[in-house]
Structure 1
């Protein structure tokens, strides 16, 4: 087991729903894209997209208390955020297993906005569509199109091995994933209250 796995701290959706009702010092950080956050998020959570958190980890760390929870769509990006924070010595951040949908299913309070697919779902759809179209094209018109399917498959393998996704980054910049005002490091971090132990 590597250091990242050993340091992994998680919380179930049911337990977070209890924390939400009981603890005033709870800070929930949603590391999804602004568009995903706008679609549905936990009431009272703060949107700090993973790329922004990665660039400003130390600034965010100064705002986190001993009851901080990182959330995303499924838990994968939240784990990356936890590892990033652990890299600078923050051991108090916990990952919500199952992401925001699990919290809603557990009866947690969420805010719904503009309906759109999550980035992860868009990646699965786009990759599948490109592979299917290239194989059909290779079968019917142009045999060389099968190499597109190979390239997409290889890209998905690399994405899994490196725990990053170029296609997801590209899709997040598409017009349907834009929001009126994307968060900036200053606007997000200054909106998070300083944890009581830091006062």
Structure 2
């Protein structure tokens, strides 16, 4: 029987906000896409997109010697980032409970940039558009509705597996990438803030 490591403890937005106000804030790593980060992020956080974090976790490990709180939109990607960093040997990891959505709902401060649609909304738009279009085309072209059925199966799998292939693909679009999160820049910022 295999055992799954226990998930990192979460930190509520209220508790994190108190730590920030007291000047004892942990290191905040925001694992969303650069586009999402530019739209709204917690002041003082560092953008290390999930793919970049996974690829360079060993390099990051050398510069994260204090408590780290991982942030994403709602907690899912931060949980994946926690797993990757924990496997690399980083202790003292926590996930912001409810992500940036809960942080904003709690009235905590955010730095704002140009407004962009979040990844979840983009996935709903693309999936819904495919299902609608293939449903309409299916009236005239037999079998076209099966494309919509495949998208529905993909969304079901995404919910069960807590992953989203469409979200990963959409994150690669220039709209979502924004300025590339360069690992050397992030490491330089982490060093200078120590």
How far apart are the structure 1 equivalents of 2:7 and 2:37?
26
Of 172, 185, 193, which residue of structure 1 is paired with 2:191? 193
Shift of 1:91: 2.5
List, as ranges, runs of 4+ consecutive aligned residues in structure 1 with deviation greater than 4 Å.
none
How far apart are the structure 1 equivalents of 2:7 and 2:165?
27
Shift of 1:2: 4.6
Contact 1:28–1:44 (8 Å) recurs in 2: yes
Matched residue count = 193
Shift of 1:162: 4.3
Instruction: Please give the residue correspondences for 1:57-76 in structure 2 after superposition, counting only pairs within 5 Å.
Output: 57-76=57-76
CA RMSD across the alignment? 2.0
How far apart are the structure 2 equivalents of 1:195 and 1:85?
20
Structure 2: stretches of 5+ with no match in the other structure:
none
Contact 1:29–1:69 (8 Å) recurs in 2: yes
Shift of 1:53: 0.2
TM-score by length of 1: 0.88
SS in structure 2 of the partner of residue 120 of structure 1? helix
Shift of 1:10: 0.4
Contact 1:31–1:47 (8 Å) recurs in 2: yes
Shift of 1:174: 2.4
Query: Partner residue of 1:3?
Result: 4
SS in structure 2 of the partner of residue 95 of structure 1? strand
Shift of 1:176: 2.6
Shift of 1:36: 0.3
SS in structure 2 of the partner of residue 69 of structure 1? strand
Does 2:156 align with 1:152? no
Deviations 1:132-185 (CA, angstroms, capped at 9, x unpaired): 2212222x2123111101211222233344443221122123243242x21111
SS in structure 1 of the partner of residue 59 of structure 2? helix
Deviations 1:92-143 (CA, angstroms, capped at 9, x unpaired): 11000111121122122201101011112211221122112212222x2123
